[in-house]
Structure 1
């Protein structure tokens, strides 16, 4: 990803930045704000930057025929996004195992640095031909260990493992 200028309030998150974008006209709904489904589209598109960081992007998919499937997800919505709003997406590796990654993505609105949304994912490392979760190659597992260690310096933007419910 090319070097981007970040507002001072987000500069500390630079190691976690995986992409950026702008709210598109097609993403606006009848409430005149970004439709809920497009938060996932925007976050997912920017997570390709994260797979590149761990050398498991397009070249990896093409040579190994492995990639990532989302096995579980949870989103929260914190601030409205409107037409033309610019954003950055961060991605933090919370945990990993020989076959899985637990990540937390966050969308920040540029201009006021507001947290707009979060997305927590459990990704499975999948053989795309067999359609089964398979172990990471040893070198990628080692890379994940290093990344996980460096990401421990950052507190997750919200608590991981949240569930939906009405507080009584």
Structure 2
């Protein structure tokens, strides 16, 4: 497993320009999905968190680079992992909402704060787990800061071999 760097034009060109192998797991692709890959916010943008979350969000959205991958290879392991993360995260979100609302509705001085705290923790955990089950996080791919490349962290050596075996970058 290594970092695999692909030209953005090759990823955006779609089917036929990427091998039919999952870049993350190295398994044969069972389907191709349309995915919008984005870059990480630059480190200097973190200073805007002090000005408020909205200001940071505006700056991060303004400077991010995007590559639309119309045919990203997706394997059975990707599908199974995504279903597993969503099956854990979404019920946690529901439990968090119920605990939070139950804590507000309860008139007990001893249980209300505990239920509200439990609700907040469950909401946070559910958001993190369900978020990791999204299509973009499942790809393990991010766009470089200049938008010229797509980097697959922990990419599969089998994907790299299939890429080098006969695929010419666009």
Return the index of the structure with the highest Cα Rg: 2
Q: Which has the higher strand share?
A: 1
Normalised by the length of structure 2, the TM-score is 0.28
Q: Which has the higher helix share?
A: 2
